[in-house]
Amino acid sequence: MAAPKILMKRGLENPESSHTLDAYEEAGGYRSVRRALDMDPEKIVEEVKASGLRGRGGAGFPTGTKWSFIPRDSEKPTYLVCNSDESEPGTFKDRWLLEKDPHLVLEGMMICAIAIDCRLMFNYLRGEFSFPIKRFQAAVEEAYANGYLGKGIFGSDYDLDVVTHYGAGAYIAGEETGMLESLEGKKAMPRNKPPFPAIEGLFGCPTVINNTETLAALPWIIENGAAAYRQIGTEKSPGTKLFSASGHLNKPGVYEVDLGYSLLEFIEQECGGVRGGKKLKAVIPGGSSVPIMTPQECVGAKMDYEGLRERGSMVGSGGFMVIGDNVSVPACLLNLAHFYAHESCGQCTPCREGCGWIEQLIDRLLDGRGTQGDLDRILRLADNMAGGKTICALADAMAWPAVSYIKKYPHEFAELCVEPVDMDALEAAVAAHAHVLP
C-alpha cells in the first residue's frame, strides 16, 4: 500500500534543493494559495472539514472544526500560530518538514490564514532547532522578496505577514496555551480553559493553533479536493501521516504512510525489521506519552486513530519507537519519568509532585531497594494525576506510560523488588487503576 507522498514528495525527489523557492515552485508549489485567494474563506473551512483532516500534533482534533470556532464578527484581529515546538520524545517529523520543505509549511500557513481572515501569522519553533529555524527563515525571506508575503500577496489585495519565533527548549511550550504565554513574553505555563484560544488566544484575540504537519497537508487538499484526500487512509482517519521511526530498527527515519497501514508491515517492510537479530519486545507508536504495546497487541494493528486506540494506545504525534528484547522496560520508564519530572512547569500539584515521586520510586526499584508497595504507590500516583486533574495533559503523559508499562510487563517490575511479589495482588492493583489509560 504505497502512499501518494502528499508531504514528502518534494524532499525525496530533489533533496539537495527542496527547501528553495525555485524547487518548490517547479514542483507546483504556491498554486494552492493562489486558488485559496479566489475562494470564499468559509468555503476553504468547509473543504478542510470535508477532507476529514485531523490535527497531527497529538490530539487528532478535526482541523476544519477547530477553524470554525473562530468568530467572524470579532472586532479584534485574528491570529494563526503554527506549533513547531516539536519536543515529544521520539518525534522528529516536523523538523524534517522544516528542513526539507519549509515552503510547504509556509503555504499551508497562508491557506489557513486566508480561511480565518488572519493578517499576522506566527511560527513557534523549538529553540534547539537551529538548522530548521535557518531553513524556515530563509523561506520566509524568499517569500517576502517575491511578493508572496507582505502587502498584497501574489498581487491580490490581501496583506499577510509572518513572525518566526523560537523558544528556549521547554517541553511545556508545546501545549498550545503554554505556547501563547511564551509568545506573549511570559513563562510557558498552560492556561485554564475556557476561554479557548479560538475565542481568547494570543494577546486576548481569536487564535488558531495548528501543528506543522497539519498545515503542511493543506496545499494538497486545496489543489486536489477533499474527496481525493478522503480516498487515502480510512473512513475515519483520512489521508497520510508522518511517523518518526526510531529505536531498534534497521532503517530508522521519517516515513509517510496511509493512515490504516499495517503496524507490523511498517516495521518489517518499511523500516527493515528489528535491528541486530533481536526480537520485538514492545512498540511505542505515538511518542513517549502514549501507552506501550506488546508484540501480541501489534498483530493485526492498524496505524490510524481508531486502530491504535482499539489496541489501547494512540497515534499521538507519530513518534514510533521500537524496543528490542534486550531492553529493560522499567529502565525505559525511568528515562521517561526523569524527562517528565524535569519538564513539568510546576503549576499543578498532582503533576509537580507526582512526576517526581514516580521517578524516585522507579529509581528505587532499579537500584534494588524497591518493594511491591512501591509498585502500588506508582499506580495510585498515576491515578491521582490523570483524567483532567491538572490544567494540561503533561500529568497524563506521565501516568499513561506508568500504568501501561506495569500492566503489560508486570514480571519485569516484580523481578526488581527485594521480596517476592504477589502477582495476583499486583494484577488486581493494575486492574483497579486501569481506568487511567486513554
List, for residues 228-271, the tens digit of each pLDDT value. 999 999 999 999 999 999 999 999 999 999 999 999 999 999 99
Report the CATH number that the domain containing residue 343 is assigned in CATH: 1.20.1440.230
Report the CATH number that the domain containing residue 161 is assigned in CATH: 3.40.50.11540
C-alpha cell of residue 140: 520566509
Mean pLDDT for 319-345 is 96
Same domain for 379 and 314, yes or no, is no
Mean pLDDT for 28-43 is 96
Q: Does the pLDDT of residue 3 top 60, yes or no?
A: no
Out of 324, 348, 374, a domain closes at 324
C-alpha cell of residue 13: 525527489
Q: What is the pLDDT of residues 95-127, one digit of tens each?
A: 999 999 999 999 999 999 999 999 999 999 998
Same domain for 170 and 247, yes or no, is no
**Domain assignment of residue 259, given as a range:** 240-324
| Amino acid present at 260 | G
Q: Is residue 216 part of a domain?
A: yes
Same domain for 300 and 337, yes or no, is no
Question: What rounded mean pLDDT belongs to the chain?
Answer: 94
Out of 324, 339, 363, a domain closes at 324
Q: What is the pLDDT of residues 353-401, one digit of tens each?
A: 999 999 999 999 999 999 999 999 999 999 999 999 999 999 999 999 9
pLDDT at 315: 96
Out of 280, 301, 324, a domain closes at 324
Same domain for 37 and 100, yes or no, is yes
Cα radius of gyration (the chain): 22
Q: How many domains does the chain have?
A: 3
Same domain for 318 and 418, yes or no, is no
Per-residue pLDDT band at 274 (split at 50, 70, 90):
very high
pLDDT at 12: 52
Q: Is residue 280 part of a domain?
A: yes
Same domain for 314 and 344, yes or no, is no
Q: Does the pLDDT of residue 323 top 80, yes or no?
A: yes
pLDDT at 82: 98
Q: Does the pLDDT of residue 1 top 50, yes or no?
A: no
This prediction's pTM:
0.94
Report the CATH number that the domain containing residue 311 is assigned in CATH: 3.10.20.600
Instruction: Give the phi and the psi of residue 136 in degrees, each rounded to 5.
Output: -65, -40
Question: 174-206: b or e for each residue (b if 16 or more CB lie within 10 Å)?
Answer: bbbbbbbbbbeeeebbbbeeeeebbbbbbeebb
Select from 321, 95, 363, 299 the least CA-distant residue to 211. 95
pLDDT at 4: 55
Q: Does the pLDDT of residue 5 top 80, yes or no?
A: no
- The percent of residues above 90 in pLDDT, for the chain, comes to 92
Q: Does the pLDDT of residue 35 top 50, yes or no?
A: yes
Q: Is residue 235 part of a domain?
A: no
Per-residue pLDDT band at 13 (split at 50, 70, 90):
low
DSSP of 276-319: GGPPEEEEEBTBTTSPPB-HHHHTT-EESHHHHHHTT---TT-E
pLDDT at 16: 80
Q: Is residue 392 part of a domain?
A: yes
